Amino acid sequence: MQNTDASQTWHGTTILTVRKGNKVVVAGDGQVSLSNTIIKGNARKVRPLAGGNVIAGFAGATADAMTLFERLESKLEQYPQQLTRACVELAKDWRTDRYLRRLEAMMIVADRSVSLVLTGTGDVLEPENGVIGIGSGGSFALAAARALIDQDLEAEVIAERAMTIAADICVYTNTNFVIETLES
């Protein structure tokens, strides 16, 4: 018999972007959970794309995120050096394509000049203040990063401290962080 219990779903992650000075940082935790069980503690949810010129992080179903990474890479090849255009085109496909619209994930993408959140509802959003958080611990990391952004700290330090705070609060977030940085 198939388990249809709604609690048996994939839960959370925390992905955070901090843009400060001449740097943009994307950080993600490594925990993958199924209900109340940690399945994996060192998943890589943040990765460079487009030859290292773009950083992307995902929250949601892993296979769905891999599909979106591949689609974004394709759009970046089609629209080189145009992250916003590539993301808008991906969001259009994601919203209208029968297969893609079933994908359950969110993405943060950043290059040297812009940071964006992409959703399956067609949203391509640029944050205020250069800080974005998504996933189950995203709000905690976002709040912590906003509190730290005006301090005399580097973007990487802010991201790591904010992620640590999120991991202390969110049971679906751990401290096995992957942090990628781009400098302009």
Phi and psi, residue 108, nearest 5°: -110, 130
* The two three-digit tokens of residue 52, written as one number: 């290292």
Tokens representing 160 are 């790591």
**Active-site residue flag, 4:** no
Active-site choice (4, 9, 13, 164)? 13
CA–CA gap between residue 153 and residue 172 (Å, rounded): 27
Report yes or no: 79 and 85 within 8 Å, Cβ to Cβ.
yes
Q: Which of 114, 65, 46 is nearest to 86 (CA)?
A: 114
Question: Active-site positions?
Answer: 13
